[in-house]
Structure 1
Amino acid sequence: MSETFVVPGLPDHIELTRAQLPYEFNPSSRVSSDRLKRVRETEMGSYGMVINSFEELEQEYVDEYKKLNGVRFGA
């Protein structure tokens, strides 16, 4: 459990262990897997999402989010 992995798809090189993952993203838990599936289904059916971000400081992440989700971002 202490072996690190690189979080894929992020502009920065970030390494975590499984123990550092939030409960919802722990693939070993069936309950969390079902919950994550419901969250994803809800996101797909929603009009948008509110994200607290400083776009000026996190521009690479904003651009990646726009690219992946094809949605508007900003006020």
Structure 2
Amino acid sequence: MAIKSPTKIFKSGNSSAVRISKDIMDAAGLKVGDKINVTLNSHDGSVVIKAADTDNKAHDHFSEILNQGLDEDQAILDFLKDK
């Protein structure tokens, strides 16, 4: 599916900005405030905007998640060590 939405680059403070239509935002699952990655394809000059990978919650709490899993499995581990 391709959704085209002609727009212009405009000035926003000391930067440049692009408006993204509601249709494209909805189709991409984006909302205002989301983190994105903007990538230039040097082969054809295209610019790609994708949602940034925000599923880092497991990385942020890895020790906590690991300890919780070990606590939950401790009874099984204790049983198996005697076998």
TM-score band by shorter chain is under 0.3
More strand, by proportion: 2
More helix, by proportion: 1
**TM-score after normalising by structure 1:** 0.23
**TM-score after normalising by structure 2:** 0.21
Q: Choose 1 or 2 for highest CA Rg.
A: 2
Bigger relative contact order, structure 1 or 2 (CA pairs below 8 A, ≥6 apart): 1
